[in-house]
Homo-oligomer: A and B are copies of this chain.
Amino acid sequence: MAFARVFIDGVDTDPNTAAIPVGDVGFVRGYGVFEVVKAVDGVCFRLPEHLDRLERSAAMLGIELPSRELLTRWAADAADGIPEAIVRMLVSAGDDPWEGPCRVIVTGEPASPQMASLRLLPVNAPWHSDGAEWELLRGKTLSYANNFAAIRQARMAGFDDAVLIGRSGRVLEGPTFTVGWVVDEDGRDIYETPAMTTGILDSITRTAVL
């Protein structure tokens, strides 16, 4: 993936050469967490809520984050000068899965234009919680291979993206988006989404819209 700006542990780095050690456990084991935030004119959408979730995810993996002040500054720096930016915050456990320190990559890139509609392929996602409780539930980790394989499967079949179906047969969420729908209730539009008890990601957009 190509980025316009890259900050590695806060250091402004040339995006063409920005690199991490091959032994980083975010790479070797997908052991890390992340957030993606949209920024318009340098202002990130609900950044505190995204950082709250990043902190919860990091705590699940025992990763100690830099201060909120630093993360906030790096996010602003990554969005700087890009009118509509996607800011990614990728935090791996670093070179040692248990000892730290973590490694923080904050990137900025121009947002892609949103599509007016999407054709979605339903994909079975038995790896999804779909109601089962466990310690990492709703952690947003770097281990997204299953989600990305679902997108690939959808594209191969001529669709734009996938929508994940749980073991129960319920619609859960997209591989990288949340799902909602509008019900007409006596002429009023009621917005609905899958319940949080399905184990879907605690989407900031979902909470903002509900």
Nearest-CB distance from A104 to chain B (Å)? 11
Find residues 118-151 in chain A having any chain B CB closer than 8 Å to their own CB. 124-129, 132-136, 139, 141-149
Q: Is the CB of B136 within 8 A of A145?
A: yes
Q: Does A53 contact B (CB under 8 A)?
A: no
Q: List 23 A-B contacts (CB under 8 A).
A: A1-B95, A2-B23, A3-B22, A8-B22, A19-B22, A26-B27, A27-B27, A27-B92, A27-B142, A29-B147, A30-B141, A31-B144, A31-B148, A97-B152, A124-B135, A126-B132, A126-B134, A127-B129, A135-B153, A136-B145, A142-B145, A143-B145, A143-B146
Cα-based distance from A18 to B139 in the complex (angstroms) = 29
Closest 10 CB pairs of A and B: A30-B30, A143-B143, A126-B132, A19-B19, A143-B145, A141-B145, A1-B23, A30-B143, A29-B144, A27-B27
Q: Is the CB of A96 within 8 A of B1?
A: yes
Nearest-CB distance from A81 to chain B (Å)? 19
Residues of chain A whose beta carbon lies under 8 Å from any beta carbon of chain B: 1-3, 6, 8, 18-32, 34, 60-62, 88, 90, 92, 95-98, 105, 107, 124-129, 132-136, 139, 141-149, 152-153, 155-156, 167
- Chain B residues lying within 8 Å of A3, measured Cβ to Cβ, are 22-23
Q: Is the CB of B30 within 8 A of A144?
A: yes
- Chain B residues lying within 8 Å of A98, measured Cβ to Cβ, are 152, 155
Q: Is the CB of B18 within 8 A of A149?
A: no
